[in-house]
Amino acid sequence: MSERNIRLVVAEDDFLVAEEIKRLLRGSNFAIAGEAGDGQEALRLVEELKPDAVLMDIRMPVMDGLTAALRITEKQPTPIVIMTAYESEELVRQASEAGVASFLTKPPALAEIERAITIALARHADLMELRRVNQELRQALAEIKTLRGILPICSFCKKIRTPDGQWEDVATHILKHTEARPSHGLCPDCYKKHYPELQDNKEKK
């Protein structure tokens, strides 16, 4: 574990279980930043205190643990460890959809708490990195402008016909539909055609 204290919000409505968790955490690398007796209070504390992780019971009054986990994931993404007296495939599925990163079976031992929180922190970090990369990709895709298909080009003036039937010069079309920036110059053929006297002087030299 990290040398610094990992700040936790503990959400547990059973007084004896909450007291046992606090007893286990004394002298460990964990510090209880806040305590909640229901999911709604847990949500409020997470938004206010911004802890490193949350230990959350499932069955609580006012708002259950899974609903609170979902709200926390939406409003203040934080590593969440669900505490439950039992575990099933359906519970695992629901918890994963709610953003839960790890599980604890009650009553937990300190080593189990440490392991669950370590897993939750790692998974949360991976998720945040994945979200960051996805956001960058979405932004990049939004900025990319690509020319595709057949471009109708006038045989004489070389203007391009747009989908709405307008005609615009090539430079304007490039600016609108690509990230390129046209830079004007002269090709050798046009140089000879439009500036023959300069070409003649160049050849005499």
Question: Which pLDDT tens digit goes with each residue over 22-43?
Answer: 999 988 889 999 999 999 999 9
Q: Which residues pair with 57 in a beta bridge?
A: 83
Instruction: Specify the length of the chain in residues.
Output: 205
pTM of the full predicted structure? 0.63
Which CATH code, of 3.40.50.1010, 3.40.50.2300, 3.40.50.300, 1.20.1300.10, is assigned to 6-140?
Answer: 3.40.50.2300
- pLDDT score, position 161: 87
Query: CA dist 45 to 8, 35, 98, Å?
Result: 10, 8, 18
Answer yes or no: is pLDDT of 1 > 50: no
Q: Which of 9-23, 99-113, 120-134 has the highest mean pLDDT?
A: 9-23
pLDDT of residue 3: 46
Band (pLDDT 50/70/90 cuts) for residue 49 is very high
3-state secondary structure (DSSP) of residue 80: strand
The residues spanned by each domain of the chain are 6-140, 160-204
pLDDT confidence band for 144 (50 / 70 / 90): low
Q: Give the mean pLDDT of 99-109.
A: 85
